[in-house]
Structure 1
Amino acid sequence: MNLWTDLDQVPSGYGPSVVTIGNFDGVHRGHGAVLRRIVDLAHAADARAVAVTFHPHPSRIHRPDSAPELITGLADRTRLLAETGLDATLVVEYTLEFARQTPEEFVVAYLSGGLGARTVVVGHDVRFGRDNSGDLSTMVELGRAHGFDVVTVDDVGQEDPPDDVPAGHHRWSSTYVRELLAAGRVRDATEVLGRHHRVRGTVVHGDARGRELGFPTANLGDVQGMVPQDGVYAGWVLRPDLVEADPGNMDAVLPAAISVGTNPTFDGAERRVEAYVLDRTDLDLYDEEIALDLVEHLRPTVRFDGIEPLVAQMHDDVERAREILLPPAGQTAPDQPDLR
């Protein structure tokens, strides 16, 4: 997939193309279904399939105090978009200047002009241009004027949702994923995303308290991806450089117990994400970028009355993580990480 971060990077005369527009935060199963349809439309028309997305999220510019936490960082979002079969993604830097464009200015610069759009695929509730003044009827009118058709797509959701799925969340949505992660329900988020939720960051030095207790942890700095509710989780540590070089390397993907929180037993104030690789005390991951795939919530964060009960609980957390990730032969297959 071609990845462009500026309209000037699009080759002159690019097209014809089938283009869709969206934030695609999390690239969940609903996004995937729509994007695969766009790819099919493009192939049938001997055209290129292109997604236009934005960074930062428009809400970060217009209402930064109430902007939602993003499910995925930009690197993971573009990687996931590529996996849908798109020919190209254009990441538009979202600024106030960009937002001041009229609907027609946006269409001419980015769709009919820059990307050679012959078909534009949007949802029924599409809004675009200055003050969100453009809607579906505007897009249809501009399509007639500038040589492209408009195709609308319906939201994609669960055909038979469980009883505990709230009203309004039967469709796959980024909002629902955020609510699930905020509640620590990473197993349910997996169902909507179609994969385990992932955060990533560079391993930094912490207090070394875990090592002193016999559970050395990798502490993530500059975390990308939405951090779920405080608690302890079973999950996987992925080392992207090793995965790319040798996916079969035993140290490329490792089972882990993952802690999110402030470490209240020691009066911690800083919220941290840290992972203990099961049964490994020999790993040196400092300054390495790693990813964490969160599989299942084990327990909430609690304050313990001393070191002994804390260590006893950590042993229990490790055993539960092992049961989930590495069950004995003959039992249900483990929740495997996504190596992409």
Structure 2
Amino acid sequence: MQVWHGIEQIPADLTGSVVTIGNFDGVHRGHRAVLETTISHARARRLPAVALTFDPHPAQVHRPEAAPSLLTGLTDRLVLLADAGIDVTLVVPYTLDFARATPEEFVRTYLLGALHAQAVVVGHDTRFGRDNSGDQHTMSALGREHGFDVEVVHDVGEDRRWSSSWARQLVESGDVAAAATVLGRPHRMRGVVVRGYARGRELGYPTANLAADSVGTIPADGVYAGWLRRHGGTGERLPAAISIGTNPTFGDPVRTVEAHVIGRDDLELYDEEVVVEFVTRLRPTLRFDGVEPLIAQMGHDVQDALAVLRASGV
């Protein structure tokens, strides 16, 4: 997949495209329905399928103090869009100045002037332009006026519409297994491995501690079965027992995310970017009366994690 950071990077010889627009946080199953429709139209027209997305997320610009945590940062969003089959992603820098454009100005500048869109695919809840004043009806009207087709993909889901907010709620509650149903994959976090207290190594279960600025919604405190992917997510996938919390047995004040790669004590992961994927929550965080019961529980956690991962087939 090609990535264009801003319309300045769009090739001058681009003569047409099929475009979809969105934040695509999490690239969940609802997003994928829109993406698949976009790709289908693009293939039929022999044009590139383009996803137009924004960075940073608009909420981080308009209300940073209340912005929700992101399921995926830009790096993982691009990976997931590529996995979905999108040919090109145009990343538009989201600024207050950009946000002042009317729906008409947005369409003229980006969809027509830059991308030469012949068709546009949107979700039924799409919003664009100043104060989110543009919606699916606005897009359809602009399509008729300017000569491009518009298809609206309506709610997609089973008992409830798949959405980023629902997936985020599930992750934050610790129900990462249910979140995976909405996302169509395990929830992930991406971060650099940093040095911690090294207690895990002393106890026989060394852990990779993610930096505080790691990207991705942090699940509720507890112990999880999951995977650790090395080299920024492109390397080998390793089974892991993942702990989130403040380590109450030792009275640590800082909440951490740390992954023990099961069966491996030879890994040197410091300063390496890794991706941690959460399959299911094994138990809540507990306080133990001493090191011995903690070590015994860690042994059970590792065995439980292995059993879950073997059964999941993920």
Deviation of residue 243 (structure 1)?
4.5
Separation in 2, partners of 1:242, 1:114: 32
Query: 2:175 is matched by which residue type in structure 1?
Result: R
Query: 1:324 is matched by which residue type in structure 2?
Result: V
The match for 1:46 is 46
Query: 2:300 is matched by which residue type in structure 1?
Result: D
Deviation of residue 105 (structure 1)?
1.3
Deviation of residue 66 (structure 1)?
1.6
Q: Find the residue that maps to 2:84 and give its secondary structure.
A: coil
The residue correspondences of 1:261-280 to structure 2 (distance < 5 A) are 261-280=245-264
Matched, 1:200 2:190: yes
Deviation of residue 200 (structure 1)?
1.6
TM-score of the superposed pair, with normalisation by structure 1: 0.88
Separation in 2, partners of 1:87, 1:21: 14
Q: Conserved in 2, the CA contact under 8 Å of 1:15 and 1:48?
A: no
Matched, 1:335 2:277: no
The match for 2:207 is 217
Separation in 2, partners of 1:257, 1:176: 25
The residue correspondences of 1:136-285 to structure 2 (distance < 5 A) are 136-158=136-158, 161=159, 170-221=160-211, 222-240=213-231, 243=234, 252-285=236-269
Deviation of residue 241 (structure 1)?
6.3
The match for 1:292 is 276
Query: 1:322 is matched by which residue type in structure 2?
Result: L
Give deviations 1:84-142, integer Å, cap 9, x for gaps: 22121111111101101111111111001100011111223322111122223322332
Query: 1:128 is matched by which residue type in structure 2?
Result: F
Aligned residues: 313
Structure 1 residues 135 and 324: alpha-carbon distance in aligned structure 2, compared to 1, 3 A threshold: closer
Give deviations 1:294-330, integer Å, cap 9, x for gaps: 111010112222222211211111111122224xxxx
TM-score of the superposed pair, with normalisation by structure 2: 0.95
Query: 2:296 is matched by which residue type in structure 1?
Result: A
Structure 1 residues 55 and 241: alpha-carbon distance in aligned structure 2, compared to 1, 3 A threshold: closer
Separation in 1, partners of 2:140, 2:171: 37
Report runs of 4+ in structure 1 exceeding 6 Å deviation.
none
CA RMSD of aligned residues (A): 1.6
Separation in 1, partners of 2:173, 2:89: 32
Q: Conserved in 2, the CA contact under 8 Å of 1:26 and 1:77?
A: yes
Deviation of residue 178 (structure 1)?
0.4
The match for 1:314 is 298
Deviation of residue 82 (structure 1)?
1.1
Query: 1:280 is matched by which residue type in structure 2?
Result: R
Moved more, 130-139 or 283-292: 130-139
Separation in 2, partners of 1:17, 1:130: 24
Structure 1 residues 319 and 137: alpha-carbon distance in aligned structure 2, compared to 1, 3 A threshold: closer
Query: 2:105 is matched by which residue type in structure 1?
Result: E
The match for 2:85 is 85
Deviation of residue 285 (structure 1)?
1.0
